[in-house]
Structure 1
Amino acid sequence: MPLLAACGGSETGSREGATSGKAADKLLPTYVASKVAQPDLPSKNGSAAGYTGKVDLAALETSVPDKLGTGAPFKIMSPFWGAPPKPGNPYYTALDAAAGTKVTWQNQDGNTYGEKLGAVLASSSIPDMVVVPRWELVGKIASAVTAKFMDLGPYLAGDKVKKYPNLAAIPSDAWRMGIFGGALRGIPMPSAPMSVIVPYYRKDIFDKQGWSVPKSPDEFLSWAKDATSAKAKVYACGDNMIWSSAAIFGVRPAGTDGWNIGDDGKVTYRIEEPAFLESLEWVRKLFAAGVVHPDDKARSGDPGQRFSAGQILVFNSDMSAWHGKTAEQAQSNPEFEIGAMDYFGADGGNPTLWAAQPATIWSLIRKGASKETVENALAAANFSAAPYGTKERMLVDYGVEGTHYTVKDGVPAKTDQGNSEVINAWVMLAAPAAYFAHPDFPDIARKQVEWQQRQGAFMKKTSTYGMNIVEPSRYAGLSSQFEQLEIDYVRGNKKLSDVQQAISTWKSSGGDKLRDWYKELFDKNGSGS
């Protein structure tokens, strides 16, 4: 982070805070719903939409009838997980030809992206377009986003966005998250508000054993003790029950989403709520009961592999694991079936689940970029935001038929070349409204949507929902100690008094002052809920 000192900028004015309400509405693109490729299961209760059929390649619709790019070259820096493909590969060439663009990709290791992003934003040489994930908006990076990237309002605000129909079809809540420093700077990748961690369980083993899915914390602990057999090396759950426990006890997420205005009108942070300690105490009971796999307790190895092998029976992950695990085990373990527990509340009643922010990744265009560069970057983003069931989406996700994928019985499957070239590049620029679609396992998409819709009935929005909040950098790292403290406490390595002392220290070392800052922000902008 010291690299960002060169970015300058004070902690007052438009560099920090948030823009919401009517002030934000004036900055947003006009929403125009897409009329192509309608989903089989529309979004409901904050869920993603779902496409539950196979792909009819002959019936793919067109969402970009005319090339919007002029072929002018521009550079994009983006996080990348895996080995980046070589420049000029058939995938990049095909996308450029279809979109009318000429992109030079500067792919950076996603695992260390924050360090590279900080260095680039501190330099005088910034690529034309940069992808910024929300989890990297820490320290000086957040204020640097405002200082270094341009206001896209002159190109996208109001009806101007209609030149880019796929961008116009991105939900307004997602666009609202693209407001940094009082201007629309970020092109969003939308996410479903009901994007919470999923408590997966081995449904095939549950059915074989005749187990009922637990419906309260006490039922879960009782089942976990019965299901665990150290002799057979089978344990009820892995380490990350702490994630699901937060949902069970109604604990808000960490970071800016952890702040909320209570029914009593008081502004509090997540760690100040009784539910925070109650959530940790329940997970501590799981560890004390010996139902957590020893490798998970030691934080070694891959819990996902232990779940696939039947060594743990409950596994916490995001929505992608539902399809990923099913596809992974389809050939080697055909009896494998993954299910998702419905959340219950702390008392066994209805849970309180907190909505995820409607966008968490953005692509931004550097200040000073030429009009032609901006228009070509927007053409690329518009192509990347094509909805499922279109020729453009198929090209972005699968590449060129015969080169990157083959089709059998209506199901596209990537070739080795596809697996090495068609990975996390173009998809980072923008995306359509959140959806699930799995041509190889269409029933998984249905289950994902239905699960989200059931959970969404108990969803609430925090007071920071829909706000892209930049906290004053003097409070950066204020809450950083809690992640490790939680890990130690649930394992019995720290005492309750240690956690209580940390909360007290948090308040006196800046938490109370940060609360005042949030209260002023809410007084000015209103609540996102």
Structure 2
Amino acid sequence: MTPNADSVPSGPSRRSFLASTAVATAAVAGGMPLLAACGGSDSGSREGATSGKAADKLLPTYVASSVAQPDLPSKNGSAAGYTGKVDLAALKTSVPDKLGTGAPVKIMSPFWGSPPKPGNPYYTALDAAAGTKITWQNQDGNTYGEKLGAVLASSSVPDMVVVPSWELVGKISNAVTAKFMDLGPYLAGDKVKKYPNLAAIPSDAWRMGIFGGALRGIPMPAAATPGIVPYYRKDLFDKKGYTVPKSPDEFLGWAKEATSSKAKVWACGDMRWAAAAFFGLLPAGTLGWNIGDDGKLTYRHEHPEYLEHLEWVRKLFDAGVVHPDDKANTGDPSQRFTAGEILVFNGDISSWYGKTTEQAASNPDFQIEGMDYFGADGGDPTLYAPQPAGIWSMIRKGASKETIENALAAANFAAAPYGTKERMSIDYGVEGTHYTVKDGVPVKNDLGIQEVNNAWVLLAAPAPYLAHPDFPEVARKQVEWQQRQGAFVKKTSTYGMNIVEPTRYATLSSQFEQLEIDFVRGNKKLSDIQQAISTWKSSGGDKLRDWYAELIDKNGSGN
């Protein structure tokens, strides 16, 4: 069975992330404003947040699943890990009674790639198992925001809609509270026990499903550990006798040694994402606001670590250790990594498995490992937790009771934990039709690859887990890496809050990413960034700080 993927920051392409995982269960955090509103009314301003104690009474009762115990329990906010073989005879049932009545439900979801045809054996089998009758309205994930905005602006909204956090901008964020229903009457408190897989979703993830003072989103939970891994080619490190760097200075020294333009080998790609963690920088987006030990509320680029991490990355570019295509900001760094043209690159945690499977046949010596984060002085790092959820499925206002119950039945089925018949069906389809099992390893055939794709998994997900029956050691390494990094993870003052900023500040920080890209490549000066920070403060940053201070004072701090 396939892994429940983990949270990533705003930097990587969402398309490449979702496409690289076996299932597209990404919970994206950090880069875009998230939605909520103060109070419990749908009227008035949509700005603000519902969080902390104010949210507790809205949440479903948490009842942990006991269906299948992991080999590696969650620790320090990590995913759970399963490293055993798949024993089909031992798979358990998490939904003993069909909760769906077969009433039709129309669901709109983003989709990357070519969606399966309606009525295919995969959809038919899952409908039969869950008691549902779903008509999928799959939309191109790359342009999903445009379609989502148009649908929410119309009077014809599908029964259930998948809403990713990165699309919650502009009018879409305001439309959520207007178009989607309060699920509290069906899921709040002990009511959720009718849906045991939904009850097993952690409370922090459910808290992120509160929009406009009501529980509207069924979440896909994420691990509370970094989603970006500084990967290195262990096989090539071993061959050359390289020692894995444990400080920024060591990294730069190693990078100069490892780079040989004559041999067409460079040390790394653009390391900005990892560098932010090396230097203890706060996350981007709403998570970037934090009350420090001095009691002051500041934003990420007001800290000295912001300039320090960029200056260090610039040293890499200036030293010529970054691949020329990375300097030109073209192509895919991960392909240069697998080709051996670069030895280190930043990637989301799903790349660990994705690159291993990709290279298994053609390059059997290939070994990918995750470098542990270190601090700017070579000591322990300071890391920050991503938001605990960032994709939701929502049910339209005005849906009939039967439609609501069938939509919830589908979500409950989709949230089945690892080690269950439901999870196996979702991830692999029908045995003999979509996959075969050999020595405890399920292998999809061509039809399975075509049909068993990423629509069902976006409705809901179980607590974060990682499992790769074909490469169990990858799952172990992923979880153990998360556990080591998780020991140094902190939460910011806005952790666990669904926040929508006032629209007047929507573009306040929009110039910084391009400035960072240009600066590290030597195309902008440090004074340009310093001026941008000054302009940010005077053109609304200081007023936005006051707004956040009031929000945190009202809702309580996320940490």
- TM-based fold match above 0.5: yes
Instruction: Provide the rounded CA distance (Å) in 2 between the counterparts of 1:414 and 1:296.
Output: 35
Q: Following superposition of structure 1 onto structure 2, how do residues 75-474 of structure 1 map, counting pairs within 5 Å? A: 75-239=106-270, 241-474=271-504
CA distance in 1, matches of 2:452, 2:45: 39
How far 1:464 moved relative to its partner? 0.7
* Counterparts of 1:12 and 1:515, CA distance in 2: 25
- 218-227 vs 19-28, which deviates more? 19-28
Q: Which residue of 2 aligns with 1:21?
A: 52
Cα drift, residue 138 of structure 1: 1.5
Larger mean CA deviation between 128-137 and 158-167 belongs to: 128-137
- 1:437-477 deviations in whole A, cap 9, x for unaligned? 00000011111111000001100001111111111122112
Find the counterpart in structure 1 of residue 75 from structure 2.
44
Structure 1 position 490 matched with structure 2 position 490: no
Which residue type is aligned with residue 155 of structure 2? S
Q: Give the Å deviation of 1:11.
A: 11
Partner of 1:7: none
> Would you say the 8 A contact 2:226–2:384 is kept in 1?
no
User: What does residue 57 of structure 1 align with?
Assistant: 88
Residue 510 (structure 1) shift: 1.4
Matched, 1:517 2:547: yes
Q: Which moved more, 1:18-27 or 1:383-392?
A: 18-27
Q: Which residue in 2 is equivalent to 1:499?
A: 529
Give yes or no for contact 1:14–1:182 (8 Å, CA) kept in 2. Answer: no
Give the Cα separation in 2 of the matches to 1:245 and 1:121: 39
Identical aligned residues as a percent: 84
TM-score (norm 2): 0.92
Moved more, 13-22 or 259-268: 13-22
Question: Counterparts of 1:336 and 1:190 in 2: how far apart (Å)?
Answer: 31
Specify the SS of the correspondent of 1:173: helix
Rounded Cα–Cα distance in structure 2 between residues aligned with 1:198 and 1:150: 37
Q: How many Å apart are 1:259 and its aligned residue?
A: 0.8
2:556 corresponds to 1:526:
yes
Answering whether residue 97 of structure 2 is matched by residue 66 of structure 1, we say yes
Judge which range, 477-486 or 170-179, deviates more: 477-486
**Do 2:226 and 2:383's aligned partners in 1 also have CA atoms closer than 8 Å?**
no
Q: Contact 1:259/1:267 (CA < 8 Å) preserved in 2? A: yes
Q: Deviations over 1:145-201 (max 9, x none)?
A: 111111000000000000000000000010001001111000000000103310000
Deviations 1:225-259 (A, max 9, x none): 000000000000012x1000001111112111111
**Structure 2: which 5+ residue stretches go unaligned?**
1-40
- Measured after TM superposition, the shift of residue 420 of structure 1 is 1.0
CA distance in 1, matches of 2:449, 2:512: 38
Cα distance in 2 between the residues matched to 1:204 and 1:294: 23
Cα distance in 2 for residues equivalent to 1:136 and 1:251 = 25
Range with greater deviation from structure 2 (196-205 or 296-305): 296-305
**SS at structure 2 position matched to 1:465:** coil
- 1:264-289 alpha-carbon deviations (Å, 9 max, x no partner): 11111111111011011100100000
What residue identity is the alignment partner of 1:272? E
Q: Could you tell me whether the CA contact under 8 Å between 1:438 and 1:444 is conserved in 2?
A: yes
- Find the residue that maps to 2:537 and give its secondary structure: helix
For residues 469 and 44 of structure 2, the distance between their equivalents in structure 1, rounded to whole angstroms, comes to: 49
Task: Describe the SS at the equivalent of 2:533.
Answer: helix
In structure 1, runs of 5+ residues without a counterpart are 1-9
Q: Which amino acid aligns with 2:486?
A: G
User: Which of 523, 538, 548 pairs up with 1:508?
Assistant: 538
User: Is the 2:42–2:213 Cα contact (8 Å) retained in structure 1?
Assistant: no
Contact preservation (8 Å) 1:64, 1:383: yes
Contact 1:14–1:181 under 8 Å retained in 2? no
- Deviation at residue 13 of structure 1 after TM alignment: 4.2
After superposition, the CA RMSD in angstroms is: 1.2
Counterpart residue identity of residue 214, structure 1:
P
CA distance in 2, matches of 1:477, 1:14: 19
